[in-house]
Structure 1
């Protein structure tokens, strides 16, 4: 086959995708260990084993990298939520809560950059746009789950309940992720117990206990 007939584009594309994966993995680890503010593009490049110039071929700055991570996390988290936030018929409330909490904790442990970017109350202004789709998707999943568990809730009470659930989980995620394995198990149990008790009280108020 003539050399001119060989199309090198697929190979270049594959190399580019591999380099992007390399950069995002390094960024996730750096965000998880150092925090978003302390992480630099030079540090990400060094961790990825590439030059800053090579990084800038794919991303213009740290915010751009964070946005790409947000897109990836949203896709991965959507798959997790689809499996763990459903409410099968006949399954007890505490089992549903345990499944949802377990999936969120496991996801945060497997993706150290996620907590640094999204599971924090002091979201940097530059990150709000990137975090919005992730937070909206999570809120939708939790809303659907709560609505299925407590169908008697009106929209206003449902919205309030979702806010309480989400902020309870977000508030305990940092110490859960940072804890030793034995302490983590205890904290996860306390989180599940708190959410179950809260949702049961909401259900009782709604007349659906």
Structure 2
């Protein structure tokens, strides 16, 4: 008996043998992006409530109001969800600090406002960031990305200090930058553990501590060239 004829592949033209793939409709792409965002928001809530290890894809699907099967259309497992969420949070975090060239000419108290306020606001709005970045059970890729982020911010702090302290040995700049970042992280933990007016009060205390540490170092040094 002759073999059954196999259907020929059709491409964008609809003609047999055409190799061009038909792109998915824009509406379908937009719907998929909305679903992914919905799942990531749900994952953030679950990770904050239970931690990464105790979280499950079933719990994330339930939080998102979808079936587990729908979740698996977009993510193969919990780690893939965490990695995507971590990547997006780290992108937002990179945009949230105010260590820019324009701000380096501000008086120290205003510089601290410009740098710290966006970072504090970001952590308030994205509690899952701390869960994923500092948790003992964080997936390896996220931990590595956070280490890279940490080193990048230390480098930016060192660059800012070097503009005020051009003759300071690199090892001393690294030491000052490391202490500055450590003070910020410790103060941020206290800020986030409180609510309302107490949270604001702890934010003000953090700025006082950082000002009193940096003021003798920065404000008594020669100001950068071109500073008013």
Pairwise same-fold verdict (TM > 0.5): yes
Corresponding residue number in structure 2 for 1:141: 156
Does residue 159 of the first structure (1) align with residue 165 of the second (2)? no
Corresponding residue number in structure 2 for 1:47: 63
**Runs (4+) off by over 4 Å:** 206-209
Does residue 24 of the first structure (1) align with residue 40 of the second (2)? yes
Q: CA deviation at 1:143?
A: 3.2
Paired residue total: 203
Q: CA deviation at 1:122?
A: 4.5
Q: CA deviation at 1:22?
A: 0.8
Would you tell me which structure has more helix in proportion to its own residues?
1
**Aligned partners of 1:51, 1:30: CA distance in 2, in Å?**
16
User: Per-residue displacement from partner, 1:58-104 (whole Å, max 9, x unpaired)?
Assistant: 222222222212221222222222xx222536411121112211111
Q: Which TM-score applies when normalising by structure 2?
A: 0.75
**Aligned partners of 1:177, 1:15: CA distance in 2, in Å?**
34
Contact kept, 8 Å, 2:53 with 2:137, in 1: the verdict is: no
Corresponding residue number in structure 2 for 1:131: 146
Root mean square deviation, CA, Å: 2.9
Corresponding residue number in structure 1 for 2:100: 86
Give matches, 1:159-178, under 5 Å: 159-178=174-193
Corresponding residue number in structure 1 for 2:52: 36
Secondary structure class of the residue paired with 1:53: helix
Q: 1:64 to 1:49 in 2, by over 3 A?
A: same
Contact kept, 8 Å, 1:78 with 1:137, in 2: the verdict is: no
Does residue 113 of the first structure (1) align with residue 106 of the second (2)? no
